[in-house]
Amino acid sequence: MWRASILTIFPDMFPGPLGASLAGKALASGAWSLDVADIRNFATDKHRSVDDTPAGGGPGMVMKADILGRAIDAIVPDMAADARPRYLLSPRGTPLTQARIEALTQGPGVVLVCGRFEGVDERVIAARGLEEVSIGDYVLSGGEIAAMALIDACVRLLPGVMGASASGAEESFADGLLEYPHYTRPQIWEGQPIPEILTSGDHAKIAAWRRAEAERLTRERRPDLWAAFLRHFRNGSKAG
């Protein structure tokens, strides 16, 4: 079973939205499992503090290496035996992509450390082999929501979770392009008809129209993806 382990100082945030909808059903049916550890349980002082002032001065607080180290060791007692990647959610991390999500779902699961405060003591990041991962170029108040986003993106790809729509072959990023526009009845809404080609029954023409629209949207909205598409996808290789 695909297993997600979370380390956080806000365990009550979980499962949160992961307990609802598709992910929640898959959790209840045993397609994946979630365990949540409260980092504060590994503190030793009476205030159960997990952070301290930064060495060298400056604003904010830093999550302590000793406490987070103990928490990780409790969740992953044998690093050699647990093949799950260990991620630290952080705006400083490398970007999360659909390709990385797909690779994660091929493995046994993931260990997610949710950062808070200004940062996490660099020594524990290195010593416990935490890979820093970001869900986008904006700053959240902590890694919890980022962890939920990562897990949601993984869980929907697990075998059996999406049922008939599971192919995912036509969705955004699957071939390096954003998804084409969708329409359904009514045929005319607020004076706007569905594009005629979609009701023509000509499947080859429909496919060509969708492809052209996907390319147009990608070019207009995501010049970065468009450049990558021109470099990698056009010549038949999905690598990179």
Residues that bind ligand ADE (CB under 6 A): 89-91, 115, 134-136, 138-140, 142-143, 146
CB closer to ligand ADE, 95 vs 193: 95
- Residue 40 CA to residue 54 CA, distance in Å, equals 19
Strand partners, 37: 7
Instruction: List Cα–Cα distances, 74 to 70, 78, 127, in angstroms.
Output: 6, 9, 15
Output 67 or 147, the one with its CB closest to ligand ADE.
147
- The secondary structure of 115-148 as a DSSP string is --SSEE-HHHHHHTTPEEEESSSS--SSSHHHHH
Smallest gap from residue 149 Cβ to ligand ADE (A): 8
Neighbouring C-beta atoms of residue 148, cutoff 10 Å: 23
Q: Which two tokens stand for residue 190?
A: 């607020």
Task: Give me the least distance between CB of 88 and ligand ADE, in Å please.
Answer: 8
Task: For ligand ADE, give the closer residue by CB, 63 or 146.
Answer: 146
State the minimum distance, in angstroms, from the CB of residue 100 to ligand ADE.
13
CB of 11 or CB of 168, closer to ligand ADE: 11
Q: Is the peptide bond before 186 cis (omega within 30 degrees of 0)?
A: yes
**Nearest CB to ligand ADE, comparing residues 90 and 218:** 90
Contact 62, 121 (CB under 8 A): yes
Question: At its nearest, how many Å lie between ligand ADE and the CB of residue 48?
Answer: 22
- CB of 138: closest distance to ligand ADE in angstroms? 6
List of long-range contacts for 227-232, beta carbons under 8 Å, 24+ apart? 228/176, 229/176, 229/177, 232/176
Q: How far is the CB of 96 from ligand ADE (least distance, A)?
A: 8
The one-letter code for the residue type at 146 is A
Closer of 87 and 229 to ligand ADE (Cβ)? 87
